[in-house]
Structure 1
């Protein structure tokens, strides 16, 4: 059975995200994306005519991945504390990819999808509000948590060891567990 057009677009988007994480968007060519996705180069132009289209596709793919991750945490978590812990744990689960390529949020920023951080902050702040924190306190806590885990990831990547990320996730997990409004 032939694959659907949406499957091809998803494969191309996933390939573009992987390449943007590994070699940067500027160094990524249409031929690279085609090879990574396993499709003929000409068919990439059907979906991505320019580098700006590739960046927009990457941003859309990251937006969808973040939405799916938030939904997964909401579905699998009984409460906001568990959702935040699952969010933090996802960084450790992705530590090999983070060491090699940085975080998905960092990739989003590199391709011009600056609202990815805003969306993540909004979701995290909502979790803190669900724990009973006032909006301003929830926002401050969200910024602290995201800065901590993204900073731990950046340091881990720079030092080529997951230890700083693992320690920061452990610290933030304890911080979330003990958070009281």
Structure 2
């Protein structure tokens, strides 16, 4: 079966380009990344990229869509856990598991949002903010389900703690920052439930 983008193989190339954009932009940043870098990472000839994405900004949007999709899948899996405290603690554990990546490149969405926020108004900063907001909203639902006051404030603190520990791990090039701060974040969550 085929589609307007060249069939099922075309859909595979598009998806590979989206995944490669998310990975390469995370590792190199928007300004240092070229379309050729993304094409190479996706194992797609550079000229073919333009069939799917006309500009680098379209690839940035594709990377943000990848982050949104990943976060949607992740939170859906976490929502299968029986209670909100377990969900939040599991998320912290997953963050800590990614400590080597965080120490090298930071949070994929957070670093992209910070970089895009420094550019001229092109709407990409707002799109990155929506991905971060998706995580904040999910965390807020967990705190609300726990019956805690100010669930939005708690969610902002929770996501802010992750962004902070990710930034510090990167700045200090020390993955164990994630381990230690993840343990503190877990203790904080336990204290809220007590």
Q: TM-score, normalised by structure 2?
A: 0.85
Any idea what SS the aligned residue of 2:44 has? coil
Gaps of 5+ in 2: 1-6, 117-124
2:87 to 58, 83, 89: 83
Whole-Å Cα distance in 2 between the matches of residues 43 and 60 of structure 1? 20
Aligned to 1:31: 36
- Mind listing any 5+ residue stretches in structure 1 that lack a counterpart? none
CA drift of 1:3 comes to 6.0
CA contact (8 A) 1:88 1:169 kept: yes
Partner of 1:154: 167
1:6 lines up with 2:11 in the alignment: yes
Q: Is the 8 A contact 2:29 2:112 kept in 1?
A: no
Corresponding position: 1:140 with 2:153 = yes
Question: Aligned equivalents of 1:9 and 1:100: distance in 2?
Answer: 27
CA distance in 2, matches of 1:174, 1:51: 42
SS at match of 2:193: coil
Cα distance, 1:40 vs structure 2: 1.1
> What is the number of residues matched between the two proteins?
177
Q: 1:47 aligns with which of 43, 48, 52?
A: 52
C-alpha displacement of 1:107: 3.5
Structure 2 CA distance, aligned partners of 1:90 and 1:108?
Answer: 20
1:58–1:108 CA contact under 8 A, matched in 2: no
Give the Cα–Cα distance (whole angstroms) in 2 for the partners of residues 47 and 20 of structure 1.
Answer: 17
Q: Report the equivalent of 1:167.
A: 180
Q: Is 1:119 aligned to residue 134 of structure 2? A: yes
Structure 1 vs Structure 2 CA RMSD: 1.7
Following superposition, the deviation at residue 138 of structure 1 comes to 0.7
TM-score, scaled to structure 1: 0.91
